[in-house]
């Protein structure tokens, strides 16, 4: 484990905001348990729990908390200068931090997604959901890490993106679906699980190609931004 990754993990797990990661997965599992033991058919509850709670809420919110935590929090409190004042190529800072963000997000999402998938249909759906949510974790994390370098208010910007764009527009305006991380993740989960409980709204090739384009694009942007990062703040 690289030193950057180590200190990032320590910083992430050491902050209180880490506890924010717990309620959503617990809630999602809880909500799935009720109909399951009431004997309600999965056709009726799987879609809303998986899509509305999982892909629309849990995945982007967890990614937002973690993604803005690995770099944004250090920029906020100024500890970023300790890492920046080292003879390290900037990608060697961005990539380990991003990997930590992806790892933590994917792990926090995989557990509830797998459990709910098994409850609804079986391990095949569970595994498919892990694949889909991991793709989502990669995409969202990359976007939010880049956002914390573009803006001083990455959490706000991220929330606007998640709520307005993903939550509202891509459900109302069909054209925006082609530019929606949630749709890529859903489509890939659908393909991987081959379940009739999920239905993606974009084609599989589009989802794969766009996922790669978005990841590479935002990663490159983040590295570029960090290379010319200016420390601002009180000047005296």
Partner 1 sequence: MTLDVTGVSRWYGNVVAVNDVTMTLGSGVTGLLGPNGAGKTTLLHMMAGFLPPSRGTLTVDGEPTWRNPAVYRKLGLVSERESVHSYLTAHEFVLVSAKLHGLPDPAAAATRALSLVEMAEFQDRRIGTYSKGMRQRARVAAALVHEPDVLLLDEPFNGMDPRQRMHMMDLLHRLGQAGRTILFSSHILEEVEQLSGTVQVMVSGRLAASGDFRTIRRLMTNRPHVFAVQSTDDRRLAVALMHQPSVNGVDLGRDGLTVRAGDYGSFTRALPRIALKEGIRVRRLLPSDESLESVFSYLVEA
Closest to 104 in 3D by CA, of 151, 150, 70? 70
CB of 232 to partner 1, least distance (A): 8
Residue 163 in the binding site for partner 1 (CB under 8 A): no
Burial class (CB in 10 A: 0-12, 13-18, 19+), 129: buried
Residue 205 in the binding site for partner 1 (CB under 8 A): no
Residue 230 in the binding site for partner 1 (CB under 8 A): yes
Assess contact for 189 and 128: CB atoms under 8 A.
yes
CB of 155 to partner 1, least distance (A): 19
Nearest residue (CB) to partner 1, 68 versus 215: 68
Q: CA 11 from chain center: how many Å?
A: 19
Residue from 78, 122, 123, 217 in contact with partner 1 (CB under 8 A): 78
What is 101-152 written as a DSSP string? HHHHHHHHHHHHHHHHHHHHT-HHHHHHHHHHHHHHHHHHHHHHHHHHHH-S
CB of 87 to partner 1, least distance (A): 5
Assess contact for 58 and 105: CB atoms under 8 A.
no
Residue from 71, 83, 185, 210 in contact with partner 1 (CB under 8 A): 83
Residue from 22, 23, 82, 196 in contact with partner 1 (CB under 8 A): 82
CB of 192 to partner 1, least distance (A): 38
* Contact string (CB under 8 A) for partner 1, positions 58-77, x = contact: -------------------x
Closest to 145 in 3D by CA, of 63, 235, 22, 28? 63
Residue from 1, 30, 48, 81 in contact with partner 1 (CB under 8 A): 81
Nearest residue (CB) to partner 1, 15 versus 199: 15
Element (H, E) at 43: helix 42-47
Q: Point out which residues bind partner 1 (CB under 8 A).
A: 3-4, 6-7, 10-11, 14, 77-79, 81-90, 227-231, 233-236
């Amino acid at each position: 484990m690289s030193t950057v990754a180590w200190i990032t993990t320590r910083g992430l797990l050491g902050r209180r905001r880490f506890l924010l990661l717990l309620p959503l997965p617990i809630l999602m599992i809880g909500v799935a348990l009720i109909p399951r033991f009431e004997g309600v058919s999965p056709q009726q509850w799987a879609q809303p729990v998986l899509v509305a709670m999982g892909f629309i809420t849990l995945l982007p919110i967890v990614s937002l908390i973690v993604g803005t935590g690995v770099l944004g929090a250090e920029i906020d409190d100024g500890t970023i200068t300790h890492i920046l004042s080292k003879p390290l190529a900037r990608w060697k800072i961005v990539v380990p931090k991003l990997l930590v963000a992806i790892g933590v997000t994917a792990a926090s999402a995989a557990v509830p997604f797998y459990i709910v998938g098994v409850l609804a249909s079986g391990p095949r759906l569970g595994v498919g959901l892990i694949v889909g949510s991991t793709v989502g974790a990669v995409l969202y994390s990359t976007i939010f890490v880049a956002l914390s370098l573009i803006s001083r208010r990455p959490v706000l910007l991220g929330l606007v993106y998640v709520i307005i764009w993903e939550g509202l527009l891509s459900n109302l305006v069909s054209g925006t679906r082609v530019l929606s991380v949630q749709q890529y993740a859903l489509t890939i989960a659908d393909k991987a699980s081959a379940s009739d409980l999920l239905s993606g709204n974009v084609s599989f090739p589009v989802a794969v190609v766009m996922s790669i384009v978005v990841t590479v694009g935002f990663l490159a942007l983040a590295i570029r931004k960090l290379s010319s990062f200016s420390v601002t703040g009180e000047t005296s």
